[in-house]
Amino acid sequence: MRLPVPGPSDLIAALGKGADQVDALLGAGPRMIALLDQAEELVARATAVIGQVEVVSTRAAAAIDQVEVVSGAAAGVVARTSLVVDRAEAQVDRLTPLLDGLEPPLTTLQPTLQALADTTHPDEVAALVRLVDHLPELTARIENDVLPVMATLGSVAPDLHDLLAVSRELNDMLAKLPGLGRIKRRIDEQQGEDGTTATVRE
């Protein structure tokens, strides 16, 4: 579309047509200047819009990059999840035969376990826990104190047997001495009475 901007030929033609045409031509000057100002303003606005479009385009490119990064991370998570699922399936495959094998004995023991659960008092459970806590100390004492003594019992037994034999012989010799037989019988009777009394008290 051609803008109504008068040129030299228009000016000459207007001079030939009269003063009215000259006035009209001269009046077009301010309108032309106003149009030029509007055109500059439109160019400035277009430049600003183009700048905004470039900013939006840059932001869109950055957003696309972020989406690609997130997509890559999501792909990694999916891959790790698949690995975990595969491992879980492998564990399930290993545990299934074990559970199938344990089911019959557990089914058989179920009444016993139920009776044990019904008859076990919390105090008994607490005592069992304390016993388990003392097991290391008990094991150490048995290994350090009891077992060495039991190992020596084999050598002590013959000595005790000989000591009892000597005691019997000495008792027989004392019984044969004059007067000591009656004293021995009196001691035996007193010991028998003491033993009877002790038995009754118990």
Query: Which tens digit of pLDDT belongs to each residue from 50-80?
Result: 888 888 888 888 888 888 888 888 888 888 8
* Listed range (86-90, 147-151, 191-195) with the worst mean pLDDT: 191-195
pLDDT at 16: 53
Residue 184 neighbours by CB under 8 Å, 6+ apart = 171, 174, 175
pTM above 0.75, yes or no: no
CB atoms within 10 A of CB 192: 10
Instruction: Give the span between the Cα atoms of 12 and 18, in whole angstroms.
Output: 10
Give the pLDDT of residue 179. Answer: 67
Is 62 inside any structural domain? no
Domain count within the chain:
1
The answer to whether residue 50 sits within a structural domain is no
Residue 199 lies in a domain: yes
Residue 78 domain-assigned?
no
Structure tokens at 201: 């008290």
Q: Is position 9 within any domain?
A: no
pLDDT score for 17? 54
Distance CA 174, CA 183 (A): 10
DSSP label of 177: S
Residue 125 has pLDDT above 80, yes or no: yes
Q: What domain range is 160 assigned to?
A: 135-202
Q: Considering the domain boundaries, does residue 54 fall inside one? A: no
DSSP 146: I
Tens digit of pLDDT for each residue in 171-191?
A: 777 767 666 667 777 777 777
Considering the chain, what is the average pLDDT of its residues? 77
Residue 44 falls within a domain, yes or no? no
Q: Let me know: does 44 contact 50? Beta carbons within 8 Å.
A: no
User: Between the CA of residue 101 and those of 91, 92, 104, 186, what are the distances in Å?
Assistant: 16, 14, 7, 74
Alpha-carbon distances, residue 155 vs 7, 34, 144, 163 (angstroms): 144, 133, 19, 13
First to last CA, the chain: 136
For residue 198, pLDDT beyond 50: no
On whether the CB atoms of residues 14 and 21 are closer than 8 A, the answer is: yes
Tell me whether residue 175 is in a domain.
yes
